[in-house]
Homo-oligomer: A and B are copies of this chain.
């Protein structure tokens, strides 16, 4: 009976490699992980034998032993009945792509998890850390994770003094103020807002920034809210906004589809863009470069956010907390197109602020 000989059921284990190479288990482990003091001859020999046997170390065993799984949770908040809904496809896709890429470069992989899900799923996967997107105030999942000593970095400033390890966010107030100034400079007299009924930080900050701006310049706020997770509601809300007696001559839409929603509504009311109505919306989609007219968009730079979030998180996991700031503000980017320019309708792309690149 014995363990060294015997069952060929599963894949080759470290024991088999050791036996085949005529060395001990320790030597195999050291040789493959670049540790210990071994002559190069032994190292390469072991490596060769391992290759020949098709040996792959068991991730589970390694995780159990080392306590590190190399897995990072990517958590998105849920809106509807679906496990989760991406209000902004392009934003999430870009952000997730960058995060995946950054994690991979450092040897980590991302696990997609909805914030609200059965507890067994959460404890069924060993996470070294977690990225949460726009956590709600006092989010129980985040609290629990932190209590278990798992680093958590959030995309979006955490509300309610959530004890996160760090966060990355845009300066939403500044972005909205800058954008409203831009519209005012282009000749807007009354700027409207298309916003959401949800309570997430992004919506809240942007809306209050708008209200503050209105108060500062002495304009009555003109806005309509709708549940952002319902794609149809956007078109209806856009219509409502332009049907008001105090119809705005410029509109900023907080969500990705608002650009086309507003454009369609403007057409229905016979309003020409940008002549009768200036338009800006927050979006990462490239379709707004080729609409008629092209629409000015505010980019939140999801790529940079995704990268930054992961870097901070992995630094925290590996104990390099000080290599970069724990809280980072990523500048936004206003991509000015025809829809917000009353003068020269020829300009297509010109980022007015923020450092170059990406």
Contacts and interface: CB of A to CB of B under 8 A. Distances in A.
Contacts of A289: 260
Looking at chain A, what size class is its interface with the partner chain? 35 or more
A286 B90 CA distance: 12
A192 B60 CA distance: 53
Interface in A127-154: 147-149
Interface stretch (A16-24, A96-104, A167-175): A96-104
A177 B96 CA distance: 35
A313 B61 CA distance: 24
A263 B292 contact: yes
Nearest to A147: B54
Interface in A238-272: 257, 259-261, 263-264, 267
A290 B82 CA distance: 25
A45 interface: no
Interface string A284-321: 01110111100000000000000000000000000000
A61 B59 contact: no
Contacts of A89: 89-90, 93-94, 285
Copies of this chain assembled into the complex: 2
Interface stretch (A35-43, A106-114, A322-330, A332-340): A106-114
Given A104-B114, A109-B112, A84 B97 contact: yes
Interface in A54-103: 54, 56-64, 69-71, 74, 82-86, 89-90, 92-94, 96-97, 100-101
Given A59-B123, A89-B89, A287-B287, A110 B109 contact: no
A100 B112 CA distance: 7
Given A125-B109, A126-B60, A263 B286 contact: no
A358 interface: no
Contact of A286 (B123, B149, B231, B290): B231
Contact of A58 (B64, B107, B267): B64
Query: Considering residues A69, A86, A109, A292, which has the most beta carbons from chain B within 10 angstroms of its beta carbon?
Result: A109
24 contacts: A58-B126, A59-B124, A59-B125, A63-B63, A64-B64, A71-B111, A83-B97, A83-B104, A89-B285, A100-B112, A104-B114, A104-B117, A107-B124, A109-B112, A109-B113, A110-B112, A257-B286, A257-B287, A257-B290, A260-B289, A260-B291, A264-B290, A291-B291, A292-B292
